[in-house]
Amino acid sequence: MNVLKLVARNLLSRKGRFLFTLLGITIGMASFVALMSIGQNMRNEVTAQAYSLGGNFVIVPDDLCVFNQIGIITGDAISERLDFAEFEKIAAIEGLDVIPHLTRRMMIYNPTAGAQQPTTVTGILPAETKTFRNWDMYAGEYFSSQDHEAIIIGQGIMNRFDLGVGDELEVRRGEMFTVVGILASTSSNDDTNVFMPLSVAQRVFDREGSVSYMSATVDDMARFDYFYASIHSVANNVNVATNEQLLGAVLTIIGSVNVTLQAVAGVALIAAAFGIINTMMTAVYERRREIGIMRAIGGRSSVIFRIFVIESGLYGLLGGILGIVVGIIVSVFAAPIIQGDEMLMGLEAGVNIDAVLIVSAIGFSLVISILSGLFPAWKASKLTPVEAIS
């Protein structure tokens, strides 16, 4: 006989109570883990995509708010308010490699969903962008000229909408284009984009002479301040944002969403903690006699205290482990629903469970349950043998 075996006996001899208390903390932990993993996944996706933009910074209209800048990272369309003329001035700066983008929305029929779904179509300078982005072809061929009337799609679009080379898409009402090629996967939001030559896009969408934003890269980031000044001196109404700045802005927004989600999970956890306190207090009351007997035959109050703390700690440990398992299952089922959200359509929603999350979730659950057990355990240990038995 040792303390652990005794605790196991105590828990298992009250199976119903044990299971329901465990269920409480499991639900609390599961919601916590699910929300954390979904949130963490968003962060990771956004970070990965910010670094895959291909440039060290972007040039955007100076009145573009932070919220709209998310579009650049998630691959959503942002309004086209930059002049192509500004692009040409900026492109002339020595040591600066810059490409323009014109982004618009289009609808594609998704045979799986049985409905039209929105995606982003981007006008690009074919030759410059291919070099800038290091693109390879997965199938078909690349644009043959600056005004090739055709589209190229990312692999994500191919899979999602079940498309292949030779398929026709209606980019805008009455404007049918043939898919001539499919890009090799870049693991960036290029995978979930439809591309066409910039001049063709400008014509189709009646946006002659306009672009949405530019991606830029410099030979030496140490000279960033110089380029920053140069860009502002040659171009008007533009703002320069480094990828880090964009990322920071987006992460701030995601962060505040996460805080809200975690607060909800926190409430669930607090409820679970009170469940443990309640169970343990009831146990102390019910088991007065048992505690008294243990004290009478020589059990020290510190041992009684330990028995009760371990009992409640076990709730936390088991609840934490079960909560992680259930939380993972929930986030796996929730991922496609999040994927369907328009605002996040460029993001591969998924589950992100790493060792840190698992360890911290179990640790957290353990700490909460031990804290919940302290008061009941203290009450139990303070019973004198005689008052407990009689």
Partner 1 sequence: MSDCIIRVENLEKIYGKSSVKTYALKGINMQIPRGSFSCIIGKSGHGKSTLMQLIGGLDRATSGNVFIDGVNISDLSDAKLSELRAKKIGFVFQFFNLLENLSALENIQIAMMFGGVPAKEQKKAEDLLKLVGLFDKAAAKPNELSGGQQQKISIARALANDPDVLLMDEPTGNLDSESEKDVMEHIYNVHKTGKTIVMVTHNNELAKQAEHVFEIYDGKLKVV
Kindly list the residues in this chain that would bind partner 1 in the complex (CB under 8 A).
1-3, 5-6, 9-10, 13, 289-290, 293-303, 384-386, 389
Min separation Cβ 280 and partner 1, Å:
16
Which residue, 3 or 264, has its beta carbon nearer to partner 1? 3
Min separation Cβ 12 and partner 1, Å:
8
CA 239 to mean position of chain CA atoms? 27
Which residue, 203 or 379, has its beta carbon nearer to partner 1? 379
* Helix, strand and coil percent figures for the chain, each rounded to 5: 60, 20, 20
Number of other residues whose CB lies within 10 A of the CB of residue 159: 12
Query: 214 — phi, psi (to 5°)?
Result: -125, 145
Min separation Cβ 11 and partner 1, Å:
10
Min separation Cβ 287 and partner 1, Å:
9
Q: Using the structure block, give the residue that is written with the tokens 């139990």.
A: 380
Which residue, 59 or 284, has its beta carbon nearer to partner 1? 284
Which residue, 130 or 295, has its beta carbon nearer to partner 1? 295
235: amino acid identity, one letter:
A
Q: C-alpha dihedral over 27, 28, 31, 36, to 10 degrees?
A: -140
Which strand (E) or helix (H) includes residue 357? helix 355-382
User: Which residues, in sequence order, are CB contacts of 221 under 8 Å at separation 6+?
Assistant: 56
102 token code pair = 């014109």
Nearest partner of 7 among 21, 19, 18, judged by Cα: 18
Which residue, 223 or 289, has its beta carbon nearer to partner 1? 289
Q: How far apart are CA 114 and CA 265, in angstroms?
A: 35
- Burial class, 314, CB count within 10 angstroms (exposed 0-12 / middle 13-18 / buried 19+): buried
Which residue, 255 or 299, has its beta carbon nearer to partner 1? 299
Min separation Cβ 16 and partner 1, Å:
15
Min separation Cβ 381 and partner 1, Å:
10
